[in-house]
Amino acid sequence: MLDSGCGTGASTRALAIADPEAWVIGIDRSAVRLARGPLASPTTMPPNLLLARAEVAAFWRLARAAGWRLRRHWLLYPNPWPKPEHLMRRWHGHPAFADLLALGGELRLRTNWRVYAEEFALALGVTGHAATIVPVAVAAAHASPFEAKYAASGHELFEVRAAAV
Ligand SMILES: C[S@@+](CC[C@H](N)C(=O)[O-])C[C@H]1O[C@@H](n2cnc3c(N)ncnc32)[C@H](O)[C@@H]1O
């Protein structure tokens, strides 16, 4: 499983604990964020968790070239890049979208911006992958730090789901 743009890696750690049979890898380009998460206390790292600093588009390209196939791919609260001219920076408009799809697996993207969810689902649809958008239930345990922050601010949260692409 891949947790792309994992921030501190708190979400990745939770995923690894929940699914000890899976290798769970979290990728983020921010060394500052990664240093604030499980890497700061390595003794709490489950053995199936790997956190790495990398640019995810490059990572996806290399993983695709190496023939990786994922079971599940999480994208939790990617940067929205909200201006119209930023469309190509959103993952569904980015050249790396083809690599993301080629890595396969079930896709789960969460966002607090309905437009991002709708665009992402539309992009999956036009590439032949049925996707649904479901509300993220406000839970006591949040999937990630950004989810906790948005939920505390009363934001509506959306999850895009696609079966193995
Ligand atoms: C809004 S934060 C969400 C962090 C985390 N997923 C969460 O939900 O708490 C977006 C994260 O994506 C990372 N990010 C954005 N673009 C990236 C890229 N091209 N490669 C790697 N990380 C990226 C940022 O460094 C940041 O940690």
Q: Which residue has the higher pLDDT, 141 or 19?
A: 19
Q: What's the whole-number mean pLDDT along residues 139-151?
A: 90
Domain total of the chain: 1
CB hemisphere CA count around 84 (13 angstroms) = 0
CA 94 to centroid of ligand 1, rounded, Å: 15
Q: What's the whole-number mean pLDDT along residues 122-141?
A: 91
Q: What is the pLDDT of residue 126?
A: 95
Atom of ligand 1 nearest to the CA of 10: 9
Q: What is the pLDDT of residue 137?
A: 86
CATH number at residue 17: 3.40.50.150
- Strand partners for 4: 27
pLDDT digits (tens, 9 = 90+) for 27-80: 999 999 999 999 999 888 999 999 999 999 999 999 999 999 999 999 999 999
CA 11 to centroid of ligand 1, rounded, Å: 12
Atom of ligand 1 nearest to the CA of 145: 9
Residue 158 has pLDDT above 80, yes or no: yes
CA 3 to centroid of ligand 1, rounded, Å: 10
Report d(CA 62, CA 23) in Å as an integer. 18
Residue 138 has pLDDT above 80, yes or no: no
Domain range holding 91? Answer: 2-162
Mean pLDDT (the chain, rounded): 95
Alpha carbon separation from 22 to 15, 49, 54, 118, 156 (Å, rounded): 9, 9, 21, 30, 30
- What percent of the chain is modeled with pLDDT above 90? 93
Give the H or E element holding residue 24: strand 24-28
CA 78 to centroid of ligand 1, rounded, Å: 6
To test ligand 1's pocket by mutation, which of 4, 55, 56, 149 has the most ligand atoms within 8 angstroms of CB? 56
Q: What is the pLDDT of residue 42?
A: 85
Atom of ligand 1 nearest to the CA of 148: 9
